[in-house]
Structure 1
Amino acid sequence: MSTGSLDILSVEELALGAGAITFVRQLGGAFGVNLLTFFLEWRHAAEGGHPLAEVLAFEQSFWLVAAVFFVTILAAWGVRPTRR
């Protein structure tokens, strides 16, 4: 994905583009972990807060991550190489 994103940039823009992609990827990872933690705690509280609720919250979090992963696979499938 990174190579495909940088492929359209000129040689002068590559360093800035690579830095921007790295920054956005790390920022997205940090937000993703925080949002998943929030979701996990929210589902744990919504299920009652007991030990079984913790298991259900982890299960629901797993399926959320699986759904997001599936959507990203679909998005990556739509990326086509550029022809020069």
Structure 2
Amino acid sequence: MARKAGLASAKIDLVAAWRDAGIYSARERAALAWTEALTLMSQRHVPDSLYEDVQATFTHQETVFLTSAIGAINAWNRIAGALQFAPPVPVL
């Protein structure tokens, strides 16, 4: 979907290494850091400094939308994992 939407292939391909890739904007890095922190919050505390960074980068409404999207995607992933859903194999 990201490729169809025109997102640069490098940004899609390097998202797992986003901290080291050097190709993401400050806004993208803030969103990725927030996503990672919320996804892993059962393992470690989300630092107040990260929340402050997100607030400085995004409006309140954008922060709410971003946080809601992260929560929804995490829920879908947990449901899919628990029920052993597999993505469809693309037909080439």
TM interval, short-chain normalised:
0.3 to 0.5
For normalisation by structure 2, the TM-score amounts to 0.37
* Bigger proportion of residues as helix: 1
Structure possessing the higher relative contact order (Cα contacts under 8 Å, 6 or more residues apart): 1
Give the structure with higher Rg (CA): 1
